[in-house]
A = this chain, B = another copy of it.
Amino acid sequence: MENIIPNLSVDCVIFGFGANKLNVLLKERKLSDPQTGEVLINDFTLTGFHVFEGENLDTAAARTLYNITGLTNIFLEQFYAFGSTQRLASEKDQIWLQHLNLNVSNHVISVGYFSLVDSSKTSPDTEHPEAQWFPVDEVPELAFDHAEILAKALEHLRLKVRLEPIAYELLPEKFTIRELQDLYECILGTKFDRRNFRKKVMQMKYLIPLAEKQTGVAHKPAQKFIFSRDVYDRTKIEKLDFSI
């Protein structure tokens, strides 16, 4: 076991898409008094961990993501560093940190990363029963400053999703236009006209139609598409129109 850096951690905000909701993966944090059995803490945290000595920030984030999901090569991007001196100051958080008994500073800077996973690929329920998906608009009480971190991650996601084709990271490899639209509506909190949305995304050359169709649905089956990062990288152009 390597030594942790006492005042530096990463927190991963892991987003998934399922049941027509944008979800975030949270870990339960539970502590009872050993004598009385009284519940001292019962809330949730993002999936974070301290950085090891000699470890890059990005590596630490990838490690944290792997430890909770078992996934590698996943979309993972730093979005903000949280460095308030008060971020671990609440009574519950202090009790928790003493309980962990790690060599932890009381002014920990945490670097926030957000990650997009196809939640059909990961099943934390089985391998990591302490981790659960929550719809981002129905998160329970969060530890530390994790509500703030989540809010900033969401803001960042909403920005990025309008600028780069990262939404595909949240979908299975093969998906329908409808699924894509649901996802965008869900992230951005809007509704789009079905015809106009289809017209718009069908212009994107990096959206490759497959011969394959939906099966087992009680209506006309939808065509499936894949996203081609290769085509995207070749065809993307810098947009310069500014919208102020």
Contacts and interface: CB of A to CB of B under 8 A. Distances in A.
Contacts of A58: 83
A165 interface: yes
A242 B162 contact: yes
- Chain multiplicity (copies): 2
Contacts of A51: 83
Interface residues of A, number: 36
Interface string A61-79: 0000000000000000010
Contacts of A204: 244
Given A188-B240, A239-B243, A244-B165, A83 B111 contact: yes
A156 B17 CA distance: 28
Interface string A200-244: 000010000000000000000000000000000000000111111
Nearest to A10: B83
Interface string A164-191: 1101000000000000000010001010
Interface of A: 5, 7-8, 51, 53-58, 78, 80-81, 83-85, 107, 109, 111, 159, 161-165, 167, 184, 188, 190, 204, 239-244
